[in-house]
Amino acid sequence: MVSTKHLICRPITNDDLQQLAVVYMRVFEDPELNEHWTEESAHALLADWYKRQPDLALAAACDDRLVGGFVVGIRPWWDGNHLVDGELFVDPEYQGRGIGRELVRQTLKTAVQRYSPVVWESYTFHGQEFPLSWYKRLGFREIQEWVMIRADVAELITRLG
């Protein structure tokens, strides 16, 4: 079992993007997902997120190794700011140890302080048990018309502790 004793969640820097792109590829290389990421395409995606919303881009490091990340955006809406889309990814060797939960928790704290979001809306894979089951445990629910997930930010913070 890989230790997460020295887990640190910190803001992503431009220098982190290449290493995080490799982690992203490892997470989404599952043939059932029918996604075909390369280092270049994963780097471009993460660089785009980082450019759009750098203050809501976090990396997780264990013993100085980047093992995951979370990026999410803010969009004004009729009922207030929404956290939108987002990419949460944790190296398969490190999954199941609370790293994703910690990345989300810390990002939500920052988002609430800076933007007061009322909802987080995102997408996940349809027909896959995971990660939808993980999001549902946090309080997300499906919107049938879009297969979109959504959670009240205040409830998420409560659940994340």
pLDDT-derived band at 1 (thresholds 50, 70, 90) equals very low
**Cβ 82 vs Cβ 152: under 8 Å:** no
CA–CA dist 140, 135 (Å, integer): 6
**Cβ 153 vs Cβ 160: under 8 Å:** no
pTM of the model: 0.77
CATH number for the domain running over 7-160: 3.40.630.30
- 60-71, pLDDT tens digit by residue? 999 889 999 999
| DSSP-based three-state secondary structure for 69 | strand
- 23-74, pLDDT tens digit by residue? 999 998 877 777 889 999 999 999 999 999 999 999 999 988 999 999 999 9
